Structure 1
Amino acid sequence: METISTVAELRARVREWKQAGASVGVVPTMGALHAGHLSLVQAARARMDRVITTVFVNPIQFDNADDLATYPRTLAEDGRLLARSGVDVLYAPTAAEMYPPGFATRITVAGVSTGLCGGSRPGHFDGVATVVCKLFMQTLADCAFFGEKDFQQVQVIRRMVADLDLPVGIVSCPTLREADGLALSSRNRRLTPAQRQTAVALPRVLAACARDIAAGTGVAAALSDAADRLAAAGFDSVDYVELRAETDLRPLATLLPGTPARLLAAAWLGGVRLIDGMPVPPRD
């Protein structure tokens, strides 16, 4: 595996691959890699000739300076994991490389960025869309691979790619979970042992809520009950528990025939914000 930190060197390497007829996949990450990230790498390796994994803690998508400062940074270990996983290039640019002096552009994706994480984190998805667009242009990838845990993020990126005619396919991969059901996340390592025990209530409550809605419980009542159960389990606050249409993320007051739905939630444990989501099966 080769580690590259500049756009010029990266483009030179990708140009060589493409001149040889190779397809290129990219797995964008902010590092602190875990098995969920590595599953995206494996998906990319299965479909593409060459794989780039990017590691960049993107400052413009953070709305909280403390969250940015405490976000785990483990580049050396990330590199070892990626080398063992068969990645061709680890692209780890500096902030100055990504946002040189005078940088003044933001990409705003309306609609799918409204509410959910976009409602409680102003400017977050502008930062996500901007950095992902830059990574697509820098890597010149044919396909990009993302995890469905960050479901709203995936839909924002799909909308951006469609609207800007970006020549990259978006592949979303299922959420990978711990044995007890907690979605894998780099933020999990910031939980204390007691918080980690509490955190497992998030997927369990969501799974129960999804079953209730599928069985005919009213959506508003089921969502309110889920939020109450998270608070009772020990979460400090609940940002949202919502039912949304999968394709355009519009709020759903009921399950609609032919409209895939997804239950999405975000809640806080101490200073750690956890998100999760799962599909809601259609009613019989």
Structure 2
Amino acid sequence: MRASKTQAVHLQILTWKNVTVLALVLGCSGAKPAMVPKAQAEKTLHELKKKPPIAQKEPAKCGAHILKGSKTSISKSPRANEDAERLAVRLTGELTAPDKAYDRIVADLGAIRAVYPEPGARGTFPYFATNGVILGLAPETVKEVEAGTYKGLDCLNDWYGGKVRSTMGSLDMIFIVFDALYHPKVIADAYASHPEVRLADANRMGGGGDDISLCNATLGGTHRYMFTRAWGDCPSGCINFEFKGYDVTPAGQVTPLETWQRNTSTGEYEAADWVTPGCFKKRWSAPPEKNPK
């Protein structure tokens, strides 16, 4: 008696005498393939080859809040050039300065200072980009924060790197600080999304002083910068301002623009023709529709 063998079973699509068939092949059996209609055979092959759909990765969340930025982008802040970082955050509206915007602005500022070592401002005034938020909480919640027992902000703080710096129990407020520089509205909105936060606002400096503005609405092409030198009662608000403008091409060619001045004690001034509303945008509010006169 012939010993039986274990037979391998598999499916194949074959063309036999110009007929497409689905063959159930039995190893060593010598059996003829079983015929099925061509359409059914092709459908079966398609099902066999079809890959399962790739599951979409769920965005990271704290409760209902979709976390902004990424651990990689957050870890890059603060950057070496704080002026460029602040301007990039303001221009793009993102949580942190994107690499492309930051690198371009670093190159622009370097090109300006290479030709004009004293361009008219020592640096950006910290109107924009923040490393802290002020939160309003219920009185009992503030007491828990002071006691070190409150865990409600742990998820947000873990992602954004927040630490409680101090509390102000008389106003039911706490102060959260970060190592990174963030877009003030984006980070304030992130904490405002927490159901136990009654108020959230970016911590920022008031008054006035030297400043640099990037007047463009978007990244790319020729960038226009306004360097503001301020003096007289600074940083309380400053009285005198001198504005110098520079256009910088992507290749780093710098063109100086007309210098103009303003004295706030008179209440009137005539801006140079090259000034656009974006040159005056300091926080996240909309810029004026036209230049003040």
TM-score normalized by structure 2? Answer: 0.22
From the CA coordinates, give the structure whose radius of gyration is larger.
2
More helix, by proportion: 1
